[in-house]
Amino acid sequence: MPAAPEVTPAAIRRRVRRWTLPAGVTAAAVAFDGRSGAFALGDGTLRRVVFAEDTPLDIVEAHDGAVLALAAAPGGGFVSGGDDGRVMLTDGTAPRELFREPRRWVSHLAVHAGARTIMAAAGKSAIGLDAAGTVVGRWDDHPSTITGIALNQTGKRVAVAHYNGVSLWWLASKQQSAAKLTWKGSHVALSWAPNGKYLMTAMQENELHGWRVADSAEMRMAGLATKPKSLGWSADSRWLVNSGAEVVTCWDFSGRGPMGRPPAEICPGEGALVTVVAVHPKVPIVAAGYDNGTVRLGRPGHAKTTELEPVGAGPLTAMAWSPSGDQLLVGGEDGGAALFDFAGA
């Protein structure tokens, strides 16, 4: 892995494109080929941007209701889930339905490009699809509505967050009981470390809870100011970062792990709360969005912070890096949206 560049205003040259969209941004994603990105909106549309073209955003009428989840699609383009119960594929300007779950919201998606797998959460059910939309598995036996879903690094195992813990399923096994990781309370977000060793959840009780997958050893990080809705990992799985405070909290998983060690705190909000985080895909640079539209970049263990151009004036809700790390999409609750292009400066 190359050495991380200094995060200083002089080192961070960028070209910025900004938009004011007609509804709040609920999610953002960049396609696996790195050529385009998309914002998901509460009005049911996607707004697609081609990075190399200085043209208006494509408008895609994807859902009859709010778009709740968005991810890069394994075969190209984007896959989205909505409160109309549909999973839609958008690989041009005309979306195509891959799956429909009547009277349910498709609220979470997880995708693995190599395994060409799409996991969709609808109510208490987790549904596995291949890239063409064929159902390859279904797991209905969850105790509550699913609140997060994640695939491991091989794409062969899925984790499902729900009330009182997480259930683990092997995708290829037709006869199995879920492995249970139990902790009482409401788990509101889920993230699997890129090396597959740790699962972390964000909890309603302003804390994080996690497990080492190999032996189910538990860890608990408490004391956040608000509910930490956004989690992210560095590519080498050393750093877990989260929202929920006036700083980005960075937990060090190297060596003996984060327990008993205070977290690093970066990107102070100067009175604003961090609402969304995203880690650069190659170097440990963290992008942080705040509840007043501010965007900053920082690195764990470094005091310097770079403030980028603000995106709207309300809470930021979505961030996504391109696979190369040359582009960053940012969107907010008030419809503010931006593309920071660090390669095109």
Quick check: is 287 in a domain?
A: yes
Q: What is the pLDDT of residues 291-339, one digit of tens each?
A: 999 999 999 989 899 999 999 999 999 999 999 999 999 999 999 999 9
Q: What is the pLDDT of residues 113-156, one digit of tens each?
A: 999 999 999 999 999 999 999 999 999 989 999 999 999 999 99
pLDDT of residue 94: 85
pLDDT of residue 175: 82
Residue 304 is part of which domain span? 224-337
Q: What is the pLDDT of residues 180-197, one digit of tens each?
A: 999 999 999 999 999 999
CATH number at residue 246: 2.130.10.10
Total domains in the fold of the chain: 1
Quick check: is 254 in a domain?
A: yes
Query: Is the pLDDT assigned to residue 168 strictly greater than 60?
Result: yes
Q: Check: pTM over 0.85? Answer yes or no.
A: yes
Query: Is the pLDDT assigned to residue 345 strictly greater than 70?
Result: no
Quick check: is 255 in a domain?
A: yes
Q: What is the mean pLDDT of residues 245-254?
A: 96
Quick check: is 22 in a domain?
A: no
pLDDT of residue 92: 76
Quick check: is 251 in a domain?
A: yes
Average pLDDT, the chain: 94
- Structure-block tokens of residue 9: 């205003």
As a whole number of angstroms, the distance between CA 238 and CA 70 comes to: 26
282 torsion bin: left (phi>0), alpha (psi -120 to 50), beta (else): alpha
Residue with the bigger pLDDT between 1 and 44: it is 44
Amino acid occupying residue 230? S
Quick check: is 128 in a domain?
A: no
Quick check: is 43 in a domain?
A: no
Quick check: is 300 in a domain?
A: yes
Is the C-alpha dihedral spanning 326, 241, 266, 237 positive or negative? Answer: negative
pLDDT of residue 5: 47
As a whole number of angstroms, the distance between CA 162 and CA 229 comes to: 15
pLDDT of residue 7: 52
Q: What is the pLDDT of residues 273-290, one digit of tens each?
A: 999 999 999 999 999 999
